[in-house]
Amino acid sequence: MARLNKKMTGSIRTIASGKLKWKEAIPGADGTVLVGDPDRHGAEYVVRYRLQAGFQVPPHYHPNDEHITVISGKLLFGSGRKFELGKTRLLRPGDYAFVPGRAPHFTSTKETTVVQAHGRGPFKIIYLNSTPARSRRKM
């Protein structure tokens, strides 16, 4: 059995999905922090993103490992330095993806999709081929 992290054994929290407080993270995507601090170095975090239909994240990477679970909708997930929809995998609710730190990847949606990401901070997005005008806002 896994040992509990002492930092995470404080008070138990439950959050009803209808009570989530969404904020715009980047244009086309709302986010909410469920627990932790994605901006703090070494801090564990769990966040959810609600992505609009047609939302795309160009090739990018994160300095740290990222764990992604699809909560609702469908996520097209691809790996590599070039955005190629034909080389994506379709992830459905309950599906999971592990993305090692610095691994280039990209995503797209055809319908509203909610994903949950967790890892250790700081959570950063480094775009590869261009610098979009959008950047993640503090949630």
* pLDDT tens, position by position, 69-89: 999 999 999 999 999 999 999
Residue 44 confidence (pLDDT):
97
> Model pTM greater than 0.75?
yes
CATH homologous superfamily of 20-127:
Jelly Rolls (2.60.120.10)
For the chain, give every domain's residue range: 20-127
Separation of alpha carbons 49 and 114, rounded Å: 6
Ramachandran sector of residue 91 (left: φ over 0; alpha: ψ -120 to 50; beta: rest): beta
